[in-house]
Chains A and B, each alone.
Chain A
Amino acid sequence: MIPALGLAVGVLVGLLLQPTVPVWLQPYLPIAVIAALDAVFGAVRAILDGIFSDKVFVVSFLSNVVVAAFIVFLGDKLGVGSQLSTGVVVVLGVRIFSNVASIRRHLFDA
């Protein structure tokens, strides 16, 4: 409940403050957001599986974000930035889908 509250508050603060993304962060933020979403869905699934751990969630969240950003950074340096970004988004998207499917089975038996 508290993390959901945090998410809502974050959205609200973002709407109120109208932030602009600094230039150095612009290539990484979208991928980082996707990675964080993957971590969040993974955490919900872990809760339902009964193996959730706060520590694991925090670490996986941060590592997801950092690794995603690092992959994008590396891709930019290697000249394959857009392809690698697409690849990361696809992989994270697949993971999110499978996590959501698992959550759905747990919650709705379907």
Chain B
Amino acid sequence: MSEPHDSTPTGPRDARHAWARLRRAGSPRPSRSNLLAMLLALALGFAIIAQVRQTSIQGLETLREDELVRILSDVDQDGDQLSGEVRDLQSSLELLKSRTTGEQEAQRAAQERLDALGILAGTAPAKGPGILLRIEDPQRLVRQNLLLDAVQELRAAGAEAIQVGDVRVVASTWFADTDGGGISVSGSEVTPPYVIRAIGDPNTLAGAMQIPGGVTATARRAGAEASVDIRDEVEVDALLSVTTPQYARPVPTSTP
């Protein structure tokens, strides 16, 4: 910094003089000007503190127009940025929501399919309105073809789930006579009285059993006694475990 007013060289003597001058100037001299100077200094101290305080609590109201404009544009910019962020987040929220809905929909459809297939394949218990066909055969006169006919008639009448004794009837179920005069259903022997449970429209099923020349008539001719019991709720609770086919392989089809 250039100091054009301070060209005179100073030495130790001058420094002593300077301190003495300062002391002299500082010594109390009750003159009017000195008093005024003190008042001014007092006002200066007060003003400094007031300004410092003011600066520390300053709000927007003391700012100049251009500063306010700058702050306003800053705030505008921030607002734009934040609303853009809000838009982004909302769109991703929508995306996630729709994805979740789609997944739930797919899961519901899959569950429905699983239930239907479970009932078809015999891996899920089923209950509903249906009939209970009871064939009393103490002398073991009934052969497997009667049960097979009964099952086929029930299927033809729209039975959705059938159980013979404790064996679920599915696509692979077979009937055979055993040597002891009994009947084997898919390898497990059932003994009289034969109880066939079928879920479906009860009246249709019962009608199919009782038509002339139908199952009940055939049973009676064979020497057994068949009775049909219409129930509001029949439980088909025998289960099969699904075995993976050993030879059959699905042929890939073009899914729509």
Contact = CB atoms under 8 A, between A and B. Distances in A.
Contact of A37 (B6, B21, B44): B44
Contacts of A15: 49
- Counting contact residues on chain B (CB < 8 A from A), the size range is 35 or more
Interface string A97-108: 110011001111
Contact of A14 (B19, B27, B31, B50): B50
Contacts of B61: 23
A1 B38 CA distance: 9
Nearest to A29: B51
B40 A61 contact: yes
A36 B44 contact: yes
Contacts of B54: 20-21, 26, 29
Given A98-B5, A106-B10, A106-B15, A6 B49 contact: no
B64 to A, nearest CB: 5
B38 A2 contact: yes
A13 interface: yes
Interface in B163-188: none
B48 A1 contact: no
B227 to A, nearest CB: 104
Interface centre among B15, B39, B42 (most CB of A within 10 A): B42
Nearest to A11: B45
Interface in A1-27: 1-15, 18-21, 23, 26-27
B41 A6 contact: yes
A70 interface: no
24 contacts: A1-B25, A2-B38, A3-B38, A5-B38, A5-B41, A6-B37, A6-B38, A7-B45, A9-B42, A11-B49, A14-B45, A21-B50, A29-B54, A33-B48, A36-B47, A40-B44, A61-B40, A82-B67, A98-B6, A101-B3, A101-B6, A106-B18, A107-B18, A107-B22
Q: Considering the complex of A and B, which 10 residue pairs feature the smallest CB-CB distances, nearest first? A: A10-B45, A14-B49, A54-B33, A1-B26, A6-B41, A6-B38, A10-B42, A106-B18, A6-B42, A11-B45
